[in-house]
Structure 1
Amino acid sequence: MVTDKDGYMHLVQYLTEHLGLFETPNSEVISDDTVMELFEEQLSAQIIMVCGQNPSLSFTQRNMIIREVDAIVYDLEEILASVANHKATPAQTLFITEFSGLIKNLFDQEIAKQQVSV
């Protein structure tokens, strides 16, 4: 649905270009959540919004979205392996929130395309 699209590849590239943001000293830490916990929380919230905004999605489509999010989380774990368990800084939290919103936008676009073609 989205993980095989150019937009997703661009977002992965965007994340890798900003990995330096995640390699900050622990003295900046404010959040109790780790980097990966924040990604999971934010992505979950965004996907709940996607499904809530699209009540006409079938059970199969919702399952496809969940599988896609699982694949995205797996990719994030691979990319962020060395920092995934570090406590998040405010700058990282902001980046994660924005990145998760961009992921939601990818799903919104794909769902809109599918509904037009039906």
Structure 2
Amino acid sequence: MVIDKPGYEHLIQFLTENLALFEQAGTPYRPAKSVGEFLEECIAEQIIQLCTQHTELEMNHRSLIIREVDGIVYDFQEVLGSVLDNEISCEQAEIIHEIALLIKNLFDNAVAALLD
């Protein structure tokens, strides 16, 4: 659905190019959360919004989306592995939030193509 698309590869590359941001302390994010917690929450929020917006999705489509999201979270956890338990900074939160929005955009495009 999206994992095998060039846009997803670009997201992984974008995260990799910004890894230095995760190796330095920044402005503390409040409420305090770990990088891993924030990553999961941001992506979950966007996928919930996606499913809410696309009421015409069938259960098998939703299941496919959830499986892909699990794979995406796993990939991002692999890239961020050494910093997942670190407290997130505002700057890191901004990058993760942006990536979560881009993930939703990838799924919006895939759902639109699926339903056409």
**TM-score normalised by the chain length of structure 1:** 0.93
**In structure 2, what is the equivalent of residue 92 of structure 1?**
92
- Computed over aligned residues only, the root mean square deviation of the Cα atoms, in angstroms, reads 1.1
1:36 alignment partner, SS class: helix
Consecutive unaligned residues of structure 2, counting only runs of 5 or more, are none
**In structure 1, what is the equivalent of residue 40 of structure 2?**
40
Task: Give every structure 1 segment of 4 or more consecutive aligned residues whose post-TM-superposition deviation is greater than 6 Å.
Answer: none
**In structure 2, what is the equivalent of residue 20 of structure 1?**
20
**In structure 1, what is the equivalent of residue 109 of structure 2?**
109
Identity of aligned residues (%): 45
Aligned-pair CA distance for 1:55: 0.4
Partner Cα distance (1:63, 1:80) in 2: 26
1:57 alignment partner, SS class: coil
Aligned-pair CA distance for 1:28: 3.9
Note if contact 2:42-2:100 (Cα within 8 Å) is conserved in structure 1.
yes
Consecutive unaligned residues of structure 1, counting only runs of 5 or more, are none
User: How many residues matched?
Assistant: 115
**In structure 2, what is the equivalent of residue 50 of structure 1?**
50
